């Protein structure tokens, strides 16, 4: 086994001491990681890693499973679940490169900023102008009001290091995700009203995805690629329900409803706050990569990922205000 000779300062933020290994389930991707200075270890040889080793786990063909997790119970792991979004070679290589470009300290600081604001008890966060637009204002101006409930469910890893025995998803490092469970009201979680302008759209699948859900995920990936090629995306929200989505002058509302499972009725199930802003502007919004998810100021997620696709719409830049 070859040890790492990487001098990459950004990954060193996560793993300050010891060798850094890229464990990949694809030989081509593993060789790409080796070209970038990491020690490549095939997934089938991962059990040979020493206890306490630092691992960037690149899953291009395998969903996260209990078996895979048990393989790394003694290592420090940053897991990158590429297959959950797009496991084809181009997006996989792009995801690797964006992972290596991530400033983990800055991402952790940004997550801490959001956590502190939420703890202060802000009732709303407004993305766009702080005050309502006048009747004769610019109709194309983004203004999305997110009302925050009293029992928010938040996922994030607001630290710049991964310690021994920790298994951390790259998504938790690059965004702060606030989720709304089926049956919850805005008083418990959040509710959105207004207009959002997105540049990126993602389609993801959960490892627990059902057979009917997988059919919707495939439908969603085709839909995502079509929308992504059209450029700017406009979303209209009312009482946390997506009432309209357009891109390139076309309405995609019904298609999105189908791909994310009509049972959810286009309720927003995630308010995502991006913490990986340091990768801007080197983002290709056409790529279905998890590293694009946290690269914008905020994103809105529809669908649960296992009865249908989970689709995120990423807003790259906008002001935000608390009230």
The answer to whether residues 318 and 127 touch, using CB atoms and an 8 Å cutoff, is: yes
Calculate what percentage of the chain has a pLDDT beyond 70.
Answer: 96
Among 195, 229, 171, 213, which Cα is nearest to 309's? 213
The pLDDT tens digits for 60-100 are: 999 999 999 999 999 999 999 999 999 999 999 999 999 99
pLDDT value of residue 150: 86
Residue 6 has pLDDT above 60, yes or no: no
pLDDT at 187: 87
Phi, psi (rounded to 5 degrees) for 163? -85, 175
Phi-psi label, residue 239: left if phi above 0, alpha if psi -120 to 50, beta otherwise: left
Per-domain boundaries in the chain: 9-101, 122-154+174-322
**Are 171 and 209 contacting, i.e. CB atoms less than 8 angstroms apart?**
no
Write out pLDDT tens, residues 272-314: 999 999 999 999 999 999 999 999 999 999 999 999 999 999 9
Average pLDDT, the chain: 93
Distance of CA 291 to the CA centre of its chain: 6
pTM of the model: 0.94
Give 55's strand partners: 21, 77
3-state secondary structure the chain: CCCCCCCCHHHHHHCCCCCEEEEECCHHHHHHHHHCCCEEEEHHHHHHCCCCCEEEEECCCCCCCHHHHHHCCCCEEEEECHHHCCCCHHHHHHHHHHHHHCCHHHHHHHHHHHHHHHHCCCCEEEECCCCCCCCCCCCCCCEEEEEECCCCEEECCCCCCCCCCCEEEHHHHHEEEEECCCCCCCCCCEEEEEEEEECEEEEECCCCCCHHHHHHHHHHHHHHHHHHCCCCEEEEEECCEEEEEEECCEECHHHHHHHHCHHHCCEEEEEEEECCHHHCCCCCCCCCCHHHHCCCCEEEEECCCCCCCEEEEEECCCCEEEC
Specify the pLDDT at position 3.
Answer: 40
For the segment 192-203, the average pLDDT, to the nearest whole number, is: 97
pLDDT at 4 over 90: no
φ/ψ (deg, to 5) at 44: -70, -10
* Partners of 314 in the β-ladder: 200, 299
Q: Is domain 9-101 in CATH 3.30.450, yes or no?
A: no
What's the pLDDT band for 2 if we cut at 50, 70, 90? very low
The answer to whether the peptide bond before residue 281 is cis (omega within 30 degrees of 0) is yes
Q: What is the pLDDT of residue 106?
A: 97
Residue 238 to residue 276: CA distance in whole angstroms: 28
pLDDT tens readout for residues 90-147: 999 999 999 999 999 999 999 999 999 999 988 999 999 988 877 656 667 899 999 9
CA distance 101 to 104: 9
Q: Are 143 and 127 in contact (CB under 8 A)?
A: yes
């Amino acid at each position: 086994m070859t040890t790492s000779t990487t001098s990459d300062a950004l990954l060193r933020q996560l793993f300050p001491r010891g060798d850094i290994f890229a464990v990949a389930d694809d030989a081509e991707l593993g060789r790409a990681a080796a070209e970038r200075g990491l020690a490549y270890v095939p997934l089938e040889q991962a059990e040979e890693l020493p206890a306490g080793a630092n691992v960037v786990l690149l899953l291009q063909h395998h969903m996260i499973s209990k078996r895979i997790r048990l393989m790394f119970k003694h290592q420090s792991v940053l897991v990158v679940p590429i297959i959950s979004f797009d496991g084809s070679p181009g997006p996989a290589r792009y995801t690797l490169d964006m992972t290596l470009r991530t400033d983990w300290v800055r991402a952790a600081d940004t997550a801490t900023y959001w956590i502190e604001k939420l703890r202060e008890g802000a009732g709303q966060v407004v993305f766009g102008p702080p005050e309502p637009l006048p009747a004769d204002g610019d109709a194309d101006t983004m203004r999305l009001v997110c009302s925050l409930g009293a029992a928010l469910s938040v996922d994030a890893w607001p630290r710049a290091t991964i310690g021994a025995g920790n298994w951390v998803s790259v998504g938790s490092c690059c965004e702060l995700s606030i989720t709304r469970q089926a049956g919850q009201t805005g008083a418990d979680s959040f509710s959105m009203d207004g207009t959002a302008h997105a540049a990126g759209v993602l389609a993801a699948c959960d490892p627990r995805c059902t057979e009917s859900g997988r059919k919707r995920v495939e439908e969603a990936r085709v839909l995502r690629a079509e929308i992504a090629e059209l450029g700017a995306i406009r979303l209209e929200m009312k009482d946390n329900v997506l009432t309209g989505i357009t891109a390139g002058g076309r309405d995609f509302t019904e298609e999105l409803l189908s791909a994310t499972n009509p049972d959810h009725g286009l309720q927003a199930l995630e308010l995502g706050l991006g913490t990986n802003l340091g990768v801007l502007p080197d983002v290709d919004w056409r790529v279905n990569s998890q590293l694009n998810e946290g690269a914008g100021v905020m994103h809105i997620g529809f669908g649960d990922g296992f009865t249908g696709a989970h689709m995120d719409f990423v807003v790259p830049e906008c002001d935000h205000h608390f009230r």
